[in-house]
Amino acid sequence: MIQRYTLKQMGKIWEDENKYDKWLQIEKAVALSQARLGIIPEKAAEDINSKASFDINEILKIEEETNHDVIAFLTNVGSYIGESSKYLHYGLTSSDIGDTALSLQIIDAINIIEFKVNKLTGILKEQAVNYKDVVMVGRTHGIHAEPTTFGLKFAVWAFEMKRNLQRILNAKESISFGKISGAVGTYANTPPEVEKLVCEKLGLKSSPASTQILQRDRHAEVISALAICGGTLEKIALEVRNLQRTDVKEVEEPFTKGQKGSSAMPHKKNPIICERICGLARVLRGNAVVAFEDMALWHERDISHSSAERVIFPDSFIILDYLLEKTIFVAGNIKVMPKNMERNLMKYGGIIFSQRVLLELISKGILREEAYALVQNAALKAWEEEGSFKENLLKEEKITKLISESEIENLFDVNYHLKYVDTIINRLQKI
């Protein structure tokens, strides 16, 4: 991922330095386990653990000739060990090291994501309470529907982020496995006891069955969970973008001191952070497709997945980390304009109360079809002429014969629609 979107802590996890460090950690654990089981001499395990090191530049030079990154790594590491280097990587295959290390990297990355998901969920819960009584129009198809509150939007997002956390934790559980089972996964040259000991040292579980690799359904689950979480962040950002439009202007993403919106038009305050969130979420979803494609490999394995994973795993975690950081900033510092919300709410003289009027007419004995036609006629006239729905109702004799002016006034009480919002907000305390 380009530096523009890479935050330091997450970026370090996916740097070559950390990857090779994980590889070396695994090789050392293997040597100690093999020595304990009498497979290699104890002195060899001691030498590997005390002398082994690596130099990234040297590894890259060697790889230019070998065209194999693990062999280049082992060649470089072996140069530090001496005679005992012959027992380095004893009975193993490249994927024993690469796949087990990848699991460790993913777990470290998920820990960062987990922290930020919890932080964002906390902010959303807090904002749900802050804005639970800030009334605004609810929209379906982008068209005014019925009243809601801005706090309820935050509550919906908070519950969804809680589900995202559970999906991510489930994926973490699925990926917390290592494999030290050798070529094609039969343990022919390294017994299951080695895998068990190594995985215990690393805080992983032993894969119950593997080919030459860990099966990629585990990895697809991880990327899928990240992509779904990104989808939620995009949904939040898209809502802010829509509500920031000039002709709506109910909220704005933060606009910091000295910020400029356009090189040409000084008046512009564009929702650029939210637009960036929406754009990068698309990349996440694309990476999920690649992860699904990586599940089906030839026989016990090929390496068509390897090149793709070098891109999609660092990029996906770096992207989601960045998106969470930006969504935390937007959600925690959003500018809310209640007066504009109130203005938009009552546009066209209360057409958002049409269902209440419809139901009241039906309760007075009119057939639904007739009641619907009467209410729709009054509403569409207000819509097309930019008039008042309430005034149109009061001019319709068939309606006023059944519903008095004071009763119509009561039907336009916004609190009726919001009487149970607190019930939803209170459910947040349980998450």
Q: Which residues of 283-311 are buried (b: 16+ CB within 10 A; e: fewer)?
A: bbbebbebbeebeebeeebeeebbeebee
> Is the separation of the CB atoms in 330 and 275 below 8 Å?
no
pLDDT of residue 424: 94
3-state secondary structure of 200: helix
Higher pLDDT, residue 118 or 270 = 118
Output the six-digit token pair for 190: 């390294």
Specify the residue for token string 């509150």.
149
Rg (CA), the chain: 30
pLDDT in tens, 388-416: 999 999 999 999 999 999 999 999 999 99
Tell me how crowded residue 353 is: count the other CB atoms within 10 A of its CB: 25
Q: What percent of the chain has pLDDT over 90?
A: 93
Q: DSSP per residue over 246-298, as a string? A: TTT-SEE----TT--S-SS-TT----HHHHHHHHHHHHHHHHHHHHHHTT--S
pLDDT in tens, 251-303: 999 987 887 777 778 877 889 999 999 999 999 999 999 999 999 999 999 99
Specify the residue for token string 């006023």.
400
The amino acid occupying position 141 is: H
Closest C-alpha to 207, from 185, 189, 224, 183: 185
| Given 141, 267, 299, 406, the catalytic residue | 141
Instruction: Answer whether residue 118 shows pLDDT above 70.
Output: yes
Q: For this structure, is 219 an active site residue?
A: no
Q: What percent of the chain has pLDDT over 70?
A: 100
Domain 94-181+211-346 fold is Fumarase C; Chain A, domain 2 (1.20.200)
Could you say which of 3.10.400.10, 3.30.720.120, 3.50.50.60, 1.10.40.30 is the CATH number of the domain covering 351-411? 1.10.40.30
Strand partners, 149: 135
pLDDT in tens, 83-111: 999 999 999 999 999 999 999 999 999 99
Distance of CA 112 to the CA centre of its chain: 12
pLDDT band at residue 61 using 50, 70 and 90 as cut-offs: very high
Which residues contact residue 178 at a Cβ distance below 8 angstroms, ignoring those fewer than 6 apart?
Answer: 26, 99, 100, 103, 195, 198, 199, 202, 204, 205, 206, 207, 214
pLDDT band at residue 371 using 50, 70 and 90 as cut-offs: very high
| Given 50, 53, 262, 307, the catalytic residue | 262
In angstroms, rounded to a whole number, what is the distance separating the alpha carbons of residues 284 and 315? Answer: 8
Domains 94-181+211-346 and 351-411 share a fold: no
Q: How far is CA 272 from CA 327, 359, 373, in A?
A: 12, 43, 44
The structural domains of the chain, with segments of one domain joined by +, span 1-90, 94-181+211-346, 351-411
Q: What is the mean pLDDT of the chain?
A: 95
Q: For this structure, is 363 an active site residue?
A: no
In words, the CATH class of domain 1-90 is mainly alpha
Q: How far is CA 108 from CA 12, 362, 376, in A?
A: 10, 60, 58
In angstroms, rounded to a whole number, what is the distance separating the alpha carbons of residues 256 and 254? Answer: 6
Residue 335 parent element (H or E): strand 335-336
pLDDT in tens, 204-219: 999 999 999 999 999 9
> Is the separation of the CB atoms in 392 and 380 below 8 Å?
no
Instruction: Answer whether residue 1 shows pLDDT above 80.
Output: no
Tell me how crowded residue 129 is: count the other CB atoms within 10 A of its CB: 16
